[in-house]
Amino acid sequence: MAPATASPKKDDAPLAVRWSGRLSLTPRILAVNVFALALLAGGFFYLDSYRTRIIDSRLEQSARELKLLAISLENAPADRHDALIAAYARQTGDRVRRYAPGGGLIADSFAMDAPRYRLRSPSEEEWQRHVARFLDRAVDRVVSARRPPDFVEPAVDSADAWPELLLARKTGQPTAMNRYAPDRTFMISAGASVRDGTALLATENARDITRTVRAERLRLGLVLAVAMLASTLLSLFLARTIVQPLQRLARAAVRVRLGRAREVTVPRLPERRDEIGMLARALSDMSIALRQRIDATDAFAADVSHELKNPIASLRSALDALDRVDRPDLRAQLMAIAQDDVRRLDRLVTDIAEASRVDAELSRTRFEPIDLGLLIETMVIAREARGVPRGVRLAFARPRKNVAVVLGEEQRLVRVLDNLIDNAISFSPDGGLVQIIATVADDQVLVSVEDEGPGVPVTEREHVFRRFHSVRPEGESFGKHSGLGLAIARSIVEGHQGRISIGDREDAQQGARFILRLPMAVARDPGIASE
């Protein structure tokens, strides 16, 4: 049993922890992984800025090229103007219109040559295009993209119907604008004024921009979908490897709590070397210890019942016979028997009470450093001052100060040493020698108590530590011992993470040797079994 330790504990957990604690592990694992993918989805915002840069670049290019056309018309003969406009339209794919100073249309590249583009109506297109436009609108709404105005051919085609031409005449610089075609492709239009008072308008259905953006968006969507699928599968796998073992352990713990510990086998998960495997083995060891504790409690209760029945039966017989006996000597004899039984019952009840609370008290006790050498020396001096029965001598080989130091509870260790010394004195012959030795070896403090008595047979060396098992020397009155002293001593020693055993004397002489092993005063942790 490990000593009680103080650990800081926060009663009020952070709000985020309290909130997430309401969810099971599976959705939390999924949420964490999906959140990481949500950061990847931010690429759609980048695509919007990428599209904006392409459109801005195309607007600048269209305005610059139209300015060059205007300069070419200014320097070319009048009979070459239409040819230059047609050649420009063929090269750029634009529709080029020229307006007179009064605003009327005087030239149109679509009338000179075959049209370079055609505005498509959404009703004419296949369903894939409808899906693409729906996705375009959805993504634009998500990224809050600015929607350009719709492109509409004026009912009367004149220079005043085009805002870019009005702005170009006002500023003297070419002006470009972006609009949406009916099928949500981009219409790039540019207007420029010519020195002779005419004006040029170039319009282009820039479908390549839409195709480029949609292709990049498709690639990003595919990457995101694959990553989402892989992340979901990995999250489910991770949740399966974590949640299912925890659920198995939880069900086993519930069955143990319901009182079915004997039928429960807590899975140890020996194949797992992670924290869950450590938890499983710790719970399995705990259930085994709990089962052993329950069995020990049942056996202890049965032993208590058996041990109490004998003095109670003797006391009842003496009291029953007392009413039928008239002779004073016989009555005095029966009263003496009854008093012995009462004293025996009192001793049994006292020892039983102490034996039953040893474990509980040790679990609540804070261990302190104790110098066993100094403690034993004090005990020996006090016992010699009170007088040792039958002239038995006590000898103690005290180690150096602060060497044989252990962590423990002093009064409990005094009880153990008292039991061992009393036992050695009881079995020692008159004038015998009881030797007490305290040494240190292998990070352990060893205390041996040797007597010159008959010794303990090998077959009985384990039995003497059982409760109510009493073997007393010849001549000692019956009933003076409850048979719990050594059992209590073993419980106390094991509560200090130590061991107690019986062996032969090192000098091969007759007698018994009790060996007490306790860990030295270092940071101790029983650890968790690996298997």
Q: Is the predicted pLDDT of residue 2 greater than 50, yes or no? A: no
Do 392 and 479 fall within a single domain? Answer: yes
Do 183 and 71 fall within a single domain? Answer: yes
Do 441 and 524 fall within a single domain? Answer: yes
Let me know the angle formed at the C-alpha of 191 by 189 and 194, rounded to the nearest 5 degrees.
155
Residue 25 lies in a domain: no
- pLDDT classification of 468: cutoffs 50, 70, 90: low
Q: Is the predicted pLDDT of residue 434 greater than 90, yes or no? A: yes
For all residues of the chain together, what is the average pLDDT?
80
- From residue 253, alpha-carbon distances to 249, 256, 262, 264, 282 in Å are 6, 5, 12, 9, 12
Mean pLDDT lowest among 84-98, 115-129, 155-169, 413-427: 115-129
> To which H or E segment does residue 106 belong?
strand 105-108
Do 192 and 285 fall within a single domain? Answer: no
Do 172 and 202 fall within a single domain? Answer: yes
Do 313 and 461 fall within a single domain? Answer: no
Residue 17 lies in a domain: no
According to the model, what pLDDT value does residue 356 have?
Answer: 66
Burial call 38-68: b when 16+ CB within 10 Å, e when fewer? eeeeebbeebbeebeebbeebbeebbebbbe
Range of the domain at 460: 366-531
- pLDDT classification of 36: cutoffs 50, 70, 90: low
Do 415 and 526 fall within a single domain? Answer: yes
The count of structural domains within the chain is: 3
Greater pLDDT, 86 or 230 = 86
- CA 246 to CA 18: how far, in whole Å? 20
In terms of pTM, does the model score above 0.95? no
Q: Is the predicted pLDDT of residue 113 greater than 90, yes or no? A: no
Q: Among 185, 218, 251, which residue terminates a domain? A: 218
Report the pLDDT averaged over residues 423-431.
88
According to the model, what pLDDT value does residue 360 have?
Answer: 62
CATH of residue 335's domain is 1.10.287.130
Share of the chain above pLDDT 90, in %: 18
Most confident of 321-330, 474-483, 489-498: 489-498
- CA 182 to CA 322: how far, in whole Å? 121
Residue 31 lies in a domain: no
Do 196 and 296 fall within a single domain? Answer: no
Do 278 and 403 fall within a single domain? Answer: no
CATH of residue 370's domain is 3.30.565.10
CATH of residue 185's domain is 3.30.450.20
Residue 81 lies in a domain: yes
Q: Among 186, 218, 250, which residue terminates a domain? A: 218
- pLDDT classification of 517: cutoffs 50, 70, 90: very high
Give the N- to C-terminal CA distance of the chain in Å, as an integer: 20
Do 53 and 80 fall within a single domain? Answer: yes
Residue 430 lies in a domain: yes
Do 505 and 381 fall within a single domain? Answer: yes
pLDDT digits 0-9 by tens, 480-499: 555 677 887 888 888 888 99
According to the model, what pLDDT value does residue 27 have?
Answer: 74
User: Bridge partners of 394?
Assistant: 434
Do 332 and 277 fall within a single domain? Answer: yes
